[in-house]
Structure 1
Amino acid sequence: MLFQHLRAILLGPVTVTIIIPVLIVTTVGTAAVDLGPAPGSLTLVAGSLLVAAGVAMLAWTISLFARSGAGTLSPQDPPRTLVIRGPYRHVRHPMFSGVLGIVLGEAIAARSLTLLAWFALFALFVAVMVSRVEEPRLARRFGNDYARYRDNVPRWLPRLLSWHASRPSGTD
């Protein structure tokens, strides 16, 4: 199982957050925005905090997939049970949110327009893929449990109070 997790992490998040940004910067450049020394320090700190938050979210959600879902983030070995714990009680796709946070944080820290363009392209890809592929697949796999979850937990903007499947819909 460890090998499956590592393979999925390397093929997914590592490719999107490290390999592709490095390829972009080394081939195209950063197209850095010169904001002067003080704003540059602020963007480095803000971007680094966003990267750290994204990494923490990614680690948390991967751990939940392994422990609660008995699976990995890979479509070839997905969770066997619907994961509705931790951040999944607030938003349906916190793993993607974590990865998007990392990519956006890199663009902000580097003050890079090319990395910002990569963020926008990847965010568009995720939005389309989630609505057209990921969520229909979850609906087929988990049926009514997923439908109830989908009806109570937003896709992207987190709800303030956590949702609990054991409670009637609409109560917190």
Structure 2
Amino acid sequence: MFQLLSVVFGTLVIVTAIRRGRESGRQRLDPRARVGVVVQVVGIFLACIGPIHPDMRSTTPAAIIGAAIVVLFGVGAVWLFYASARALNKNWSIDARMRPDHELVRAGPYAHLRHPIYLGLLFYMLALAIAAGHYLQLIVAIPVYLWGTIIRTRVEDRLLSETFGASFDAYRRSTPALFPRLG
């Protein structure tokens, strides 16, 4: 099941990137965000390297719960990416950049989080590590991934603040960056 979710997730990322293609015209681009992407990828890589411990194949209660958690995180990752990319529409990009016609998106997952795609990637990393039995690797992988996410979100937030001013600043005050408020 996790392999199927991985294929769906990877396909969504690739198709979304291809649909956006290379953009022409004037846009403000901040290449420093790529450092954050690289650090995020290192975090995800750290969660998945090493021998696989397939304890999910048994029918023990722990394995069944683990499989359910993997499916929950995997489906959450796919849904968050799909819903976020759809809400962003033409604003979605791997690069941190502002188009001349950029809009401040506050619909869909962006009504609850400023950076829901990064939460989706965290969910994917957790599903990957749990499916592979790499629980201890998460001790290092999660902080590395979050460090990359902080780098990336600071650059994106700065670009959005420069572009939208008080409107974005109000959005930032009312909407958490990565983890939704409970209650």
- TM-score tier, shorter chain, comes to 0.5 to 0.7
Verify the 8 A CA contact 2:84 2:117 in the aligned structure 1. Answer: yes
Q: Which residue of structure 2 lines up, in the alignment, with residue 130 of structure 1? A: 153
| Aligned residue type for 1:82 | L
Verify the 8 A CA contact 2:129 2:135 in the aligned structure 1. Answer: yes
Cα deviation digits, residues 62-116 of structure 1 (max 9, x gap): 01111xxx32232266561111001211121111111111111221232213652
Mapped pair 1:92 → 2:107:
no
Cα deviation digits, residues 121-140 of structure 1 (max 9, x gap): 21222124323x22112111
Q: Which residue of structure 2 lines up, in the alignment, with residue 120 of structure 1? A: 143
Change (3 A) 1:6 1:101: farther
| Aligned residue type for 1:74 | I
Q: Which residue of structure 1 lines up, in the alignment, with residue 91 of structure 2? A: 71
1:55 aligned to which of 78, 81, 100: 78
Q: Which residue of structure 1 lines up, in the alignment, with residue 165 of structure 2? A: 143
**Matched length:** 147
| Aligned residue type for 2:91 | G
Q: Which runs of 5+ in 1 are unaligned?
A: 162-172
Verify the 8 A CA contact 1:45 1:109 in the aligned structure 2. Answer: no
Q: What is the deviation of 1:54?
A: 1.2
Mapped pair 1:40 → 2:55:
no
Secondary structure of the corresponding residue to residue 95 of structure 2: coil
Change (3 A) 1:46 1:2: closer
| Aligned residue type for 1:139 | S
Structure of higher RCO (CA pairs closer than 8 Å, 6+ residues apart)? 2
Change (3 A) 1:107 1:78: farther
Change (3 A) 1:34 1:74: closer
Mapped pair 1:3 → 2:18:
yes
Verify the 8 A CA contact 2:97 2:159 in the aligned structure 1. Answer: no
| Aligned residue type for 1:93 | H
Verify the 8 A CA contact 1:93 1:156 in the aligned structure 2. Answer: yes
Q: Which runs of 5+ in 2 are unaligned?
A: 1-15, 23-33
Q: TM-score, normalised by structure 1?
A: 0.68
Instruction: Tell me, in whole angstroms, the C-alpha distance in 2 between the residues paired with 1:86 and 1:16.
Output: 25
Verify the 8 A CA contact 2:17 2:94 in the aligned structure 1. Answer: no
Is the deviation greater in 99-108 or in 70-79?
70-79
